[in-house]
Structure 1
Amino acid sequence: MILSVVVPVYNVQAYLRQCIDSILGQTFQEIEIILVDDGSTDESAVICDEYAEADPRVKVFHQKNTGLVGARKKGVELSSSTYITFVDSDDFIEKESYNRAVDSMKEGIDVICFGITRYYENEKAPKAEHSLFDEKIYQKTDMMQKIVPYMIWNEKRGGFGLDPSLCIKIIKRELLTKSYKLLKEQNFYYAEDSAIIFPVIYMANSMEVRYDSFYNHRRRKDETCRPYFQDKDFLKKLYIVYKHLADFFNDSPALIKQIEQFFMYSVNLRKRAYGEDYEKTEHLFPFDRIEKGKRIVLYGAGKLGKTYYHQLLQISYCEVVLWVDKNYQKFKNYGVSAVEEINKVTYDKIVVAIESADVAQAVRNYLLEKGVQDSDIILACCLKN
């Protein structure tokens, strides 16, 4: 068998039959379909069993609810084919979908990327989208020059460089297995495909970009604010993705910058849970240079200092034991103290949240004169995007 189709299933009885029928109806028949029932409480589990009994190509695995990451990972583990792709259980595909990729799979291309069609339940016309990268086959050298440096975040576009959706890619099983093994935590939903696909692309030796679209991604009427944005732990779970990608790409400053831009964009999406609009954030707290749970002194109560302070409040990443500013009287309502208070508290790091390099260096020199270790001082002016 050359291709396994993994379908994570959770409470989608209204859409599941259309999804499975679209896969079984493929003109390319040499596939196995793995339905991972992730603890459904509606009729989804029963529907899965019906299809498994009727067609030997369909396998079903029932498990307690682990979330999308766990369900997809289990599907990868259960697969027996050279290649794997995914279909979300409320989506559907065109009948020629996998037939279009047969030649590429026989050539042994590591990752095959297609376009996507957004299918709207509110009767808006379907919208087809394709990659920003040129339509062709890329070998390793070409990938490292033309794909990898730009794949995570396109600053001008304000979106992904490469659409991370696993559902519009056909990937060698060995690469997916490696990527899932790298993931230390799986208790998150938002950006789960980003956590997997970007390391896959980096590890791949070849990749094909195709503009044709076979995958119909359903946008439901009730999706004005998706459930994961309303999750009270959204920001903590988002940090799991940030840390995972930052650790993997720690030797690439260009990709670290893109990861931070994605993180800042995503933090702002949390506002949707409160009915607020997205607002671009230009600065990100230096999460990659300070371990979680450390005690910090925040030096600077201007725009940058306030940005850092509110980010930390939202994600509960570090404990701000003291917030200081030379002109602290102007910011007393924010709980800002005099600089001289630093020697009265116990801390691990001092973050100088001042954009001006000259002023920040002057603060650094002052702190060194007061006996602060240079390794305990982090200058924000050196971390600008």
Structure 2
Amino acid sequence: MPKISVIVPVYKAEPYIARCIESVLSQDFTDWELILVDDGSPDKAGEICDAYREKDRRITVIHTENHGACAARALGVQTSSGEYIAFVDSDDYLPGDALSLLLGKAVKDNLDITVGCAALYRDRTQKEHYLQSGLWEKTDYIKKMLLHKISCGPVTKLFRRQVLDENAFKLPRNVTNNEDLYMNIVAALNSSRIGFYDDIVVYLYNPDNMNSVCRTMKVYEEPFFSLCNAIWKQLSDHGLENECRNEYLVFVFSGIGGCIFKQNKKVRNIEFISGLLALSKGYHGSLKTACVKFVCQHERFVFIYYILANLAKKTRNIWRKLFI
């Protein structure tokens, strides 16, 4: 049984997948298996994966119909046998010591989730900092994710396989965005020890692939509400609904404002909004979330919110161009 299973969903990655695979082959830690899940990629990425499988017995290739990155990762986890699991996107790369650094921290501190830093592959000095280094309580970690204060992606992390149970990928089929957030919340709920380390760069982003999901993401009402319900159920099942209530409300109201009202649309699911307003009784939060809550209560102001939100966005863009 390998120590680490590295799982890579592959879709429209023909220009990048070889370098991604080579970065795993070049690791100074060698007790790994690489599972490449060809998610119905229409290009030659699957053939490239097959060619590498012929060269190294540690590589497994799975060909499947296109169901999205989340389903591909779930299939990879089901197929894997490693004690720990790491995810890599097919257009990104690992530094040569990524696995050894993550595993060293995980073993030393007996961690269930180990988080390192990412950087642009062109300039490794530009690290992404999210948390203060050290051990984190699961509740604080989840709160930071709901507030988008840390990365909710699957990469830069090493998971003990037990924390990625069947619930980590058990979402309604209509949810096609933010599945990674849900997976990370479930993994955190299943964890006892979580550590973040800003002194190790364990992931290199490729900024050139504009097919990347995170650069083209659109969020729609019903899938978003399904995601919110699933997150709230997990928090409630683990007795954290009171501790994480305010952060959950920020996440939901921010999503409604940014993905629905900002498009000059009204919410159609009145039942969800009624439940949300009942849950948020006595909650005010920031000016932004308070405004969204007000518009949820008085939808005739949606157009005004739409005008002001887009005006604020244009103002921010002009400010950045002039002064940043």
**Short-chain TM bin:** 0.7 to 0.9
- What corresponds to 2:135 in structure 1? 137
Q: 1:197 aligns with which of 184, 201, 206?
A: 184
Contact 1:130 1:213 in 2 (8 A): no
Q: Would the alpha carbon gap of residues 16 and 199 (structure 1) be closer, same or farther in structure 2, given more than 3 Å must change?
A: same
- The letter for the 1-side match of 2:186 is P
How many Å apart are 1:127 and its aligned residue?
A: 3.1
- The letter for the 2-side match of 1:264 is F
Q: 1:256 aligns with which of 245, 256, 259?
A: 245
TM-score by length of 1: 0.63
- State how far apart, in whole Å, the 2-side matches of 1:91 and 1:272 are: 34
Structure 2: where are the runs of 5+ without partners?
A: 265-271, 279-290, 303-324
Q: Would the alpha carbon gap of residues 144 and 21 (structure 1) be closer, same or farther in structure 2, given more than 3 Å must change?
A: closer
Q: Would the alpha carbon gap of residues 259 and 57 (structure 1) be closer, same or farther in structure 2, given more than 3 Å must change?
A: same
Q: Would the alpha carbon gap of residues 303 and 58 (structure 1) be closer, same or farther in structure 2, given more than 3 Å must change?
A: closer
Q: 1:213 aligns with which of 192, 201, 213?
A: 201
How many Å apart are 1:126 and its aligned residue?
A: 7.0
1:49 equivalent in alignment to 2:50: yes
- State how far apart, in whole Å, the 2-side matches of 1:219 and 1:285 are: 37
How many Å apart are 1:273 and its aligned residue?
A: 9.9
How many Å apart are 1:3 and its aligned residue?
A: 0.2
- State how far apart, in whole Å, the 2-side matches of 1:304 and 1:245 are: 20
1:85 equivalent in alignment to 2:73: no
- The letter for the 2-side match of 1:195 is Y
How many Å apart are 1:53 and its aligned residue?
A: 0.8
Contact 1:70 1:186 in 2 (8 A): no
Structure-to-structure mapping, 1:105-144, within 5 angstroms: 105-107=106-108, 108-118=110-120, 127-132=126-131, 134-138=132-136, 143-144=137-138
Q: 1:238 aligns with which of 224, 227, 248?
A: 224
How many Å apart are 1:222 and its aligned residue?
A: 4.0
- State how far apart, in whole Å, the 2-side matches of 1:189 and 1:204 are: 25
1:270 equivalent in alignment to 2:270: no
**The residue matched to 2:217 in structure 1 has which SS?**
helix
Structure 1: where are the runs of 5+ without partners?
A: 155-159, 277-283, 291-301, 314-385
- The letter for the 1-side match of 2:259 is R
**The residue matched to 2:273 in structure 1 has which SS?**
coil
Structure-to-structure mapping, 1:346-357, within 5 angstroms: none
Structure-to-structure mapping, 1:318-333, within 5 angstroms: none
- The letter for the 2-side match of 1:242 is C
TM-score by length of 2: 0.74
Contact 2:40 2:63 in 1 (8 A): yes
- What corresponds to 2:156 in structure 1? 168
- State how far apart, in whole Å, the 1-side matches of 2:215 and 2:175 are: 14
**The residue matched to 1:219 in structure 2 has which SS?**
coil
Contact 2:142 2:188 in 1 (8 A): no
Corresponding residue pairs, total: 276
- The letter for the 2-side match of 1:153 is L
- The letter for the 1-side match of 2:8 is V
- Across the aligned residues of Structure 1 and Structure 2, the Cα RMSD in angstroms comes to 3.3
**The residue matched to 1:258 in structure 2 has which SS?**
helix
- What corresponds to 1:97 in structure 2? 98
- The letter for the 1-side match of 2:230 is H
- What corresponds to 1:279 in structure 2? none
- State how far apart, in whole Å, the 1-side matches of 2:166 and 2:149 are: 23
Deviations 1:175-208 (A, max 9, x none): 1124426x24244332111101112112211122
Contact 1:246 1:288 in 2 (8 A): no
Structure with the greater alpha carbon radius of gyration: 1
Contact 1:148 1:202 in 2 (8 A): no
**The residue matched to 1:92 in structure 2 has which SS?**
coil
Contact 1:26 1:98 in 2 (8 A): yes
- What corresponds to 2:267 in structure 1? none
**The residue matched to 1:264 in structure 2 has which SS?**
helix
**The residue matched to 1:40 in structure 2 has which SS?**
coil
- What corresponds to 2:322 in structure 1? none
- State how far apart, in whole Å, the 1-side matches of 2:292 and 2:150 are: 32
- State how far apart, in whole Å, the 1-side matches of 2:196 and 2:294 are: 43
| Higher relative contact order (CA closer than 8 Å, sequence separation 6+) | 2
Q: Would the alpha carbon gap of residues 28 and 199 (structure 1) be closer, same or farther in structure 2, given more than 3 Å must change?
A: same
